[in-house]
Amino acid sequence: MSVGRREWKTLFAAQLGWMLDGMDVMLYAFALTTVQKEFGLSSAAAGSVASYALITSAVGGALAGYFADRYGRARVLVWSILTYSVFTGLTATAGSLWELALWRGLVGIGLGAEWSAGTVLVSETWPAKYRGRAIGFVQGGWAIGYSLAAALAAAILPHYGWRYLFAIGTLPALLAIWVQRHVEEPEVWRRSRETAPALGLGEALRTLVRPPLVRRVATVTTICSFVLFAYWGLFTWTPAYLASPVEKGGAGLGIVKSLGWVLAVQAGSFLGYMFCGWVSDRLGRRPAFMFFTLSAAALIPFYARPHADVRVLLVLGPLIGFFGHGYFSTFGSMLSELFPSAIRGTAQGLCYNFGRGVSALAPIVVGAVADQRGIGAGLVITGGFFAVGGLLVMLLPETKGGELA
């Protein structure tokens, strides 16, 4: 299988979708302290809004996986981009905590749907020997989107406030028009639909909870739960940790100055996505996943310690980004390789997004610890979750180089 125009268009569409998804989602993280002040929220309450979005993203991602199996990967990608764009814009109209939670919850549906559709689309389009690198390229879009959100926050928040920041989030809807016109469904999916009708939702779920797939589903879901709890707990609160004063367990950099450190973290994460994808294609999915998650677990206590020296933050920030994000490049390829085409989207969406639903507790837990012991102390607990998730991957078979059926 060769790489041509069709493969590259698919890759860029998925990466841009994920990049703009990351931008829309992370706008809330950068606006967190400002929103807290306007609505008079505790850290735990502000974190609960982010948690609610994660819960709805789990629902959106799980349903999108099934819809991608039934209606097509590219079609669901378009739906997801429209969803998170429109509701990010509507977040700017929130007049109360409940309205804020409503709009962020609907943004979450698009967030979950985009990953479920986009990663399966790329996995089924690109050849096996480049699959890890292709998914790494897609995941790299998150770092670009995160950095774009940071830049927009620096330019808009101090002068115009958080409402204008969210209004900008409607622009990704333009990408949906391009994807609709230029991105084709994968040949693997089309062949699957020609040889057999799409399974009903109940039948697909019954297939996943019975042998021979049930043990694999349970293992993948547990891994996703641990690692995504660690990820969302760590990176939802990292901007607030960097901006908060030292006496509250933060780094004391302030909002504007902390954005430079956030960009350093995201520069490391972009390289992590790319490198992990390459490592997983060369050495295997399991070794790459373990190396990155266990390294993140080891670094977090040093990064988040109270009264952290800014020089330490400057050195460790890119490494936290590198190891704390890179393993996502193995998620898309590994999960696609573990399940057959007829239920690939459903399985991937269910396992990953069940874990995302569990991870919805992470911003609340870290916020609650932050209220009692400081934000840095809250971040430290995420390291243990990274470690457990990294070790559990040994229970899965190695799938590197496997052709998709």
- The rounded distance, in Å, linking the Cα atoms of 131 and 3 is 11
* 141 occurs within a structural domain: yes
- Residue 73 within a domain: yes
> Phi, psi (5° rounding) for residue 310?
-60, -30
Please state, in angstroms and rounded to a whole number, the distance separating the CA atoms of residues 60 and 259: 30
pLDDT of residue 245: 65
Q: What is the mean pLDDT of each run of 10 residues along the chain (405 residues)?
A: 82 89 83 84 78 83 89 91 91 89 91 87 89 91 86 88 88 82 86 76 84 93 95 82 67 57 81 93 95 96 73 84 92 88 87 85 85 82 95 94 73
Which domain, by its residues, includes 247?
Answer: 5-197+208-395
Question: What pLDDT does 250 receive?
Answer: 60
Domain count, the chain: 1
Assess contact for 139 and 14: CB atoms under 8 A.
no
Q: What are the angstrom distances between the C-alpha of 40 and each of 14, 25, 90, 132, 373?
A: 38, 22, 21, 44, 20
Query: Domain for residue 98, yes or no?
Result: yes
Is the CB of residue 110 less than 8 Å from the CB of residue 21?
Answer: yes
Per-residue confidence (pLDDT) for residue 256, from 0 to 100: 47
Give the per-residue pLDDT at 390: 96
pLDDT at 163: 92
- For residue 382, the model assigns a pLDDT of 94
DSSP 46-64: HHHHHHHHHHHHHHHHHHH
Position 43 in a domain: yes
Instruction: Measure the CA–CA gap between 44 and 48, rounded to whole angstroms.
Output: 6
Residue 260 CB neighbours (<10 A)? 14
Tell me, yes or no, whether 125 lies in a domain: yes
Per-residue burial over 51-77, b = 16 or more CB atoms within 10 Å of its CB, e = otherwise: bbbbbbbbbbbbbbbbbbbbbbbbbbb
Query: Looking at residue 136, which CATH number applies to its domain?
Result: 1.20.1250.20
User: Does residue 203 fall inside a structural domain?
Assistant: no
Residue 365 lies in a domain: yes
Predicted confidence at residue 304, as pLDDT, reads: 82
* Residue 59 belongs to a domain: yes
